Amino acid sequence: MMHRPENNIAAFGEADEGAIACPWRASLTLAWREILGFSRQGSRVVGAIGQPLVFWIFFSAGFDRNFRLDGTMEGQSASFAEYYFPGTLVLILLFTAIFSTISLIEDRREGFLQSVLVAPLPRWSMVLGKVLGGAVLAVIQGGLFLMLAWTLPIEFSFWKLVQIAVLMLLASLGLTSLGFAIAWRMESTQGFHAIMTVFLMPLWLLSGAFFPVPSLAADSTWLQIGLYGIMQANPLTYTVAGMHQLLYDGPLSSALDLPTMATCWLVTVIAAVLMFVAACWTASGFSRSVP
């Protein structure tokens, strides 16, 4: 083996204190690692798109005859397939975010994370890498599903597609950050499955993705009022509403009594920022006292 000690003596040991990692560049590298790892794991693609797609196909077929939006005439209402399409899109984002978060637990278990944690980088840089990687994957998968929109009476323009992509990215950043904050201290993926069932799925279910936010009337029951309150308070409701409006600017949107598009953008952005800050905050409190 060839080696040249005389050249290396000066080189090693004298730490490159000048060569400081750029946190943004490190984030991008870590995000790229997410995408690379994902592309080598075919099962994750199937998992994230497969189930929402199957849901969409079967629920649409099953509910189609019984579904009519309030305030629309017989024959005027959108089909369930149309109504449920934006919700499915958001479900794909949620699933992708969940899978990328599970990969965080794997990174910890398999040991990769420990070398990142002792690198001279601010903690947010690592969080951003993970979250951005997950969000980009979510947008790519959402985009694949969006191709099915050709089967629905939706008119696309370039500008509309750009807005949909940006909304998907913001929502995914929020969801991935949320997953990150939850998963940070978890040792096993089993615990995360529990959270997913009792928290993340209801978060989606109560976002207007699967059924509209009930409108309040004098005869509303307490349960309906409670549901209304929860759904209004759920930030994801505004992402789904925004998606509805971007996809359908016709009667379907007006029948739903949705918040304005500006509100949808604002809530989605604020939620994403807050979730990201929460994720950074969780990760910075790292003092795992493992005996």
> Helix, strand, coil proportions of the chain in percent (round to 5)?
75, 0, 25
Residue from 17, 75, 222, 223 that binds other proteins (CB under 8 A)? 17
Considering the rule CB under 8 A, would residue 232 count as an interface residue with other proteins? no
Residue from 25, 54, 202, 229 that binds other proteins (CB under 8 A)? 25
**How far from 131 is each of 103, 107, 178, CA to CA, in Å?**
11, 14, 9
Contact, 34 vs 129, CB < 8 A?
yes
Considering the rule CB under 8 A, would residue 280 count as an interface residue with other proteins? no
Considering the rule CB under 8 A, would residue 73 count as an interface residue with other proteins? no
Considering the rule CB under 8 A, would residue 147 count as an interface residue with other proteins? no
Considering the rule CB under 8 A, would residue 288 count as an interface residue with other proteins? yes
Count Cα neighbours of 282 within 13 Å in the Cβ-side half-sphere. Answer: 18
Identify the burial level of 190 via C-beta atoms within 10 angstroms of its C-beta, where 0-12 means exposed, 13-18 middle and 19 or more buried.
exposed
Considering the rule CB under 8 A, would residue 46 count as an interface residue with other proteins? no
Query: Residue 120: how many CB atoms within 10 A of its CB?
Result: 9
Q: Is the dihedral angle over the CA atoms 180, 182, 188, 190 positive or is it negative?
A: negative
Considering the rule CB under 8 A, would residue 289 count as an interface residue with other proteins? yes
Considering the rule CB under 8 A, would residue 159 count as an interface residue with other proteins? no
Residue with tokens 């994403």: 272
Considering the rule CB under 8 A, would residue 42 count as an interface residue with other proteins? no
Contact, 258 vs 98, CB < 8 A?
no
According to CB under 8 A, which residues from 75 to 114 bind other proteins? 110-112, 114
Considering the rule CB under 8 A, would residue 194 count as an interface residue with other proteins? no
Residue from 35, 116, 201, 269 that binds other proteins (CB under 8 A)? 116
Beta carbon nearer to other proteins, 63 or 112 = 112
Residues of this chain that bind other proteins (CB under 8 A): 1-3, 5, 8-9, 11-17, 19-22, 25-26, 29-30, 33, 36-37, 40-41, 110-112, 114-121, 287-291
